[in-house]
Amino acid sequence: MKKFILKAKLKAKKGKGNIADAVMVYVMRAETNSMKQMAWKRSRVLLFLHEQGVKIGKMASEIEARGGIEAIYKQAVKSKPLRVLKPAKKRASETESSVQKAKKNGLSKPSAETDKDAENRSPRTNDQRAMLLVSIKLSDRDALSEMPLNAKAGLTIKRNENQNGAKFTVLRVKELPEKSQL
């Protein structure tokens, strides 16, 4: 595997991935993240079919017979997930408020968290980072670039679909004071 990675000029990630992923990235000449994700998905499908006993010469016809890459990928994810998902948190409307809990338990004072705090808490649990295509005036972009490192800015953003494919447009940029907490 090391020889292949060197010959293919791939970046080796210690303990991550497998040879099928590396081969698919190489074969597809995947350079962008989206192309690498597509290569990974195809690799996952091929490994899934291989584990089910499909012979290499029959893979193409089997993919077609089962409805394509996406359909088989969904089967693979369902039957053999690579990660265990945490159960989704209940929405604020589905959970008891701190006042309701205090009354139920016979307490006169609720916990330190107020009902307003519970309402403001986001029910979303996916905290991964992602790139986002945003339309912004060059003068606003320059203002952001000229800010010192670790400075904070408040952006007023409107959700829309503009001609450049951006789903959001920055309407206003405001540098926040140093002690401002978001």
Q: Domain locations in the chain?
A: 2-79, 132-182
**Percentage of the chain with pLDDT > 90?**
16
The Cα 137–Cα 101 span in angstroms is 49
Mean pLDDT over the full length of the chain: 76
The Cα 118–Cα 121 span in angstroms is 5
The Cα 10–Cα 16 span in angstroms is 13
Q: Is the predicted pLDDT of residue 109 greater than 50, yes or no?
A: no
pTM: 0.42
Comparing 5-9, 49-53, 69-73, 164-168, the range with the smallest average pLDDT is 5-9
Task: Name the band, by pLDDT with cuts 50, 70 and 90, for residue 145.
Answer: confident
Mean pLDDT of the 145-163 span:
84
- Helix ranges (H only) for the chain are 2-7, 19-28, 33-51, 59-65, 69-79, 98-104, 115-120, 138-146
Q: Is the predicted pLDDT of residue 146 greater than 50, yes or no?
A: yes
Query: In terms of Cα–Cα distance, which of 41, 40, 49 is closest to 10?
Result: 40
Residue 53: per-residue pLDDT: 92
Mean pLDDT of the 83-105 span:
59
Residue 31: per-residue pLDDT: 85
Query: In terms of Cα–Cα distance, which of 40, 2, 41, 47 is closest to 21?
Result: 40
Query: What is the three-class DSSP state of 114?
Result: coil
Q: Is the dihedral of CA 158, 164, 166, 172 positive or negative?
A: negative
Asked if 24 and 40 touch (Cβ cutoff 8 Å), the reply is yes
